[in-house]
């Protein structure tokens, strides 16, 4: 029956909604990831910031990001993602622009933390929003188009930021790159709709077909009574720790790749920008291929295992090669970066497959919040290790080891919707 309904679902969803989600997440990523370029191009020297403090400042974003994930996801489910993201866009655009105007460390620390708070609602709200519109057989593809905003943004941001820093300095880069979010808020408010029932561009039959297909998918999922039970379930805890260790490697890489490459290669900031873009270019075809496989065969787990394992191997390989061959070490690092991005669509597509809708928003946000905590740890510790060791070797081992732990937990976790979700503090 689901297959018959599937063929009738409105194709306009893809052209009306996916560009909105993509651009919004892209702007959020632009204003969180460009700190690495500021740190590599004079921000630390101008504000007299030590390497240890610089790594903490980069990580403070994720501490703010951690605290408001769950309220944001629940608000998006119960009330409106439209209102939530509108105000978030305005606030983070102001804060991102203000980063280019700071003159002391305390103000910069406050801005970084508040920027994390402002952006914290975006990812859970977007994932909840997409789960209201796209079915199980479409969800990995829809999520992947959302998450493509990550590598594609860092791809062009890496190149653009290099040129902006070269032309206007790090202050000009932050100011210029913060403005688009404020402009986009107005467009978002005009064109966004929360649910199929709100869309004037759908017929009554199309709305009914979408809602029926989504409701049918919930029939085989074991009931969870409330958020407290969901947060204690073995399945949710397993997914949370996978995301935690995964993001240690991911955001240690994203935040400090420009500094690592600039130091190791001895090249200027523009050339560093081009080198920093390559992992994100590789990620795009890998993510599209993985989402196609995931939706066709509904095997989300194998994608997560394969690519996180590849990322771990390449990190450790890059460390082993070290400075003896910069270009081989760089190629391994590029593959590690692309591999880490690849499973995002399938991983988050698995959550609505496994968790009942009454608690899905809170569970999704809980898992995302653990990822934010991992991002904080990764971006702080990687920057700290680079500073105290004078090179990236120790941080490569740290990031690779974290990915190994994510792979181990994934291998022990059932991605089946019919597995028990009774409260257990263990992997399933």
In the numeric block, the tokens 């240890």 are attached to 52
**Whole-number pLDDT of residue 114:** 92
Q: Distance (Å, rounded) from C-alpha 196 to C-alpha 325?
A: 54
Average pLDDT, whole number, for the chain? 84
pLDDT digit string (tens) for 127-146?
888 988 998 889 889 988 98
**Whole-number pLDDT of residue 61:** 80
Q: Which residues, 6 or more positions from 11, have their beta carbon under 8 angstroms from its beta carbon? A: none
pLDDT digit string (tens) for 243-286?
999 999 887 777 677 777 777 767 777 787 788 888 888 988 99
pLDDT digit string (tens) for 380-415?
888 788 778 877 778 878 888 999 999 999 999 988
Q: Distance (Å, rounded) from C-alpha 82 to C-alpha 191?
A: 10
Residue pair 86/122 in contact by the 8 Å Cβ criterion? no
Q: Distance (Å, rounded) from C-alpha 407 to C-alpha 403?
A: 6
Sorting pLDDT into bands at 50, 70 and 90, what band is 8? Answer: low
Q: Which two tokens stand for residue 169?
A: 């300095």
Whether residue 427 is predicted with pLDDT greater than 60 in this model: the reply is no
**Whole-number pLDDT of residue 71:** 86
**Whole-number pLDDT of residue 418:** 52
Handedness of CA 360, 126, 110, 165 (dihedral sign): positive
Q: Is the pTM of this model over 0.85?
A: no
Helix 357-389 / helix 69-78 crossing angle, nearest 10 deg = 150
Q: In the chain, pLDDT over 70 holds for what percent of residues?
A: 93
pLDDT digit string (tens) for 49-108?
877 787 777 678 878 888 888 888 888 888 888 889 999 999 999 998 998 898 888 998
Nearest Cα to 255, choosing from 34, 26, 66, 28? 34
**Whole-number pLDDT of residue 378:** 83
**Whole-number pLDDT of residue 123:** 86
pLDDT digit string (tens) for 118-132?
888 888 888 888 988
Q: Distance (Å, rounded) from C-alpha 209 to C-alpha 216?
A: 11
Whether residue 224 is predicted with pLDDT greater than 90 in this model: the reply is no
Q: Interior CA angle at 369 toward 338 and 253, to 5°? A: 30
Q: Distance (Å, rounded) from C-alpha 148 to C-alpha 341?
A: 9
Per-residue pLDDT, averaged over 14-20, amounts to 91
In this structure, the dihedral spanned by the alpha carbons of residues 249, 253, 259 and 261, taken in order and rounded to 10 degrees, is 110
**Whole-number pLDDT of residue 426:** 39
Of 19-23, 73-77, 113-117, which range is least confident? 73-77
Whether residue 5 is predicted with pLDDT greater than 70 in this model: the reply is no
Q: Distance (Å, rounded) from C-alpha 138 to C-alpha 7?
A: 12
**Whole-number pLDDT of residue 417:** 56
Sorting pLDDT into bands at 50, 70 and 90, what band is 355? Answer: confident
**Whole-number pLDDT of residue 69:** 84
Residue pair 369/334 in contact by the 8 Å Cβ criterion? no
Per-residue pLDDT, averaged over 335-353, amounts to 89
Q: What letter does residue 222 receive in the DSSP assignment?
A: P
Whether residue 222 is predicted with pLDDT greater than 80 in this model: the reply is no
**Whole-number pLDDT of residue 390:** 77
């Amino acid at each position: 029956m689901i297959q018959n309904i599937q063929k009738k679902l409105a194709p306009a969803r893809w052209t009306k909604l996916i560009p909105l989600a993509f651009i919004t997440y892209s702007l959020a990523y632009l204003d969180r990831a460009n700190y690495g370029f500021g740190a590599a191009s004079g921000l630390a020297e101008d504000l007299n910031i030590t390497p240890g403090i610089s790594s903490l400042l980069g990580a403070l974003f994720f501490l703010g990001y951690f605290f408001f994930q769950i309220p944001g996801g629940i608000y998006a489910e119960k009330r409106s993602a439209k209102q939530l993201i509108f105000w978030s866009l305005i606030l983070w655009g102001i804060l991102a622009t203000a980063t280019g105007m700071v003159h002391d460390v305390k103000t910069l620390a406050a801005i970084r933390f508040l920027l994390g708070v402002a952006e914290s609602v975006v990812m859970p709200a977007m994932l909840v929003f997409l789960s209201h519109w796209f079915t199980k057989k479409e969800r990995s593809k829809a999520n992947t188009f959302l998450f493509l905003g990550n590598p594609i943004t860092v791809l062009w941001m890496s190149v653009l930021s290099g040129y902006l820093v070269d032309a206007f300095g790090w202050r000009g880069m932050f100011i210029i790159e913060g403005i688009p979010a404020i402009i986009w808020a107005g467009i978002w408010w005009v064109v966004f709709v929360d649910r199929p029932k709100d869309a004037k561009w759908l017929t009554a039959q199309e709305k009914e077909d979408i809602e029926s297909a989504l409701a049918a998918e919930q029939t085989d999922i074991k009931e969870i009574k409330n958020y407290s039970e969901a947060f204690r379930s073995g399945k949710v805890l397993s997914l949370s720790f996978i995301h935690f260790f995964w993001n240690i490697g991911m955001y240690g890489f994203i935040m400090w790749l420009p500094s690592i490459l600039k130091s190791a290669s001895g090249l200027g900031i523009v050339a560093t920008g081009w080198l920093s873009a390559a992992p994100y270019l590789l990620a795009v075809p890998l993510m599209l291929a993985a989402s196609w496989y995931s939706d066709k065969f509904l095997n989300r787990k194998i994608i997560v295992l394969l690519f996180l394992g590849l990322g771990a191997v390449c990190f450790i390989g890059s460390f082993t090669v070290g400075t003896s061959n910069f270009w081989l070490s760089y190629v391994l690092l590029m593959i590690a970066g692309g591999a880490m991005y690849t499973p995002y669509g399938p991983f988050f597509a698995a959550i609505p497959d496994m968790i009942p809708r009454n608690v899905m928003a809170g569970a999704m946000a809980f898992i995302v919040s653990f990822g934010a905590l991992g991002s904080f740890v990764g971006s702080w510790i990687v920057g700290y290790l680079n500073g105290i060791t004078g090179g990236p070797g120790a941080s490569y081992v740290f990031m690779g080891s974290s990915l190994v732990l994510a792979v181990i937990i994934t291998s022990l976790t059932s991605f089946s919707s019919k597995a028990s979700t009774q409260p257990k503090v263990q992997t399933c």
